[in-house]
Structure 1
């Protein structure tokens, strides 16, 4: 099943950022949620707006929400953003894993010397 946000598919980073911004707005609209969020993240109220321009911060917002079942339920009920949509947005905002070039010398198993048994 394809997850949607505002009637369209979550297709990439910009859709995922839109989800995260809606979720952040939901959090800061409630004083208790805002205080809990600030206490956990260590942010100050005046730094939230500047931080919201960072996709890493938005990823952190979604990860924060994904760990709180009650908050997920409230977002689902009030914003109609399903938990699966939030998880998909996390996938789109997560950085690609770094792929290290393999060292062929380290990967190759050492060759044992061969002896000719027929001499």
Structure 2
């Protein structure tokens, strides 16, 4: 099943960033939540606004929330953003793994062949 956000499927980076910004606003709207967030991340209140423009920061916000079941539950209840939508947003904001090109001069050894045995005798 495709996770939805605001009645439509999470289509990509834009939707994922929108979810992360709403989650960040939810965190900063409560004194206890923002203090906990700042303590865990090591950020200062004055750096949050500047950091919020970075997709890496937004990814970090979603990863922070994904590790806290109580916070996920509160977000689900108050913002109606399901935990699965947060996880889908994490996937959209995560950088693609780097694929190193195969060196043309280097040969890849085939795995050793295992001996074949007849199991039916």
Could you state the TM-score of these two structures normalised by the residue count of structure 1? 0.88
Specify the alignment match of 2:109 in structure 1.
108
Q: Deviations over 1:83-108 (max 9, x none)?
A: 00000000000000000012352523
In structure 2, the partner of 1:58 is 58
Partner residue in 1 for 2:90:
90
What corresponds to 2:69 in structure 1?
A: 69
In structure 2, distance between residues paired with 1:33 and 1:81? 17
Where has structure 1 moved over 4 Å in runs of 4 or more?
none
- Structure 1 residues 16-69: Cα deviation after superposition (integer angstroms, max 9, x where no partner): 000000000000000000000001111100110100000000000000000000
TM-score (norm 2): 0.86
RMSD over aligned CA atoms reads 1.1
Structure 2 segments unaligned to the other structure (5+ residues): 111-121
Point out where structure 1 has 5 or more consecutive residues left out of the alignment: 110-119
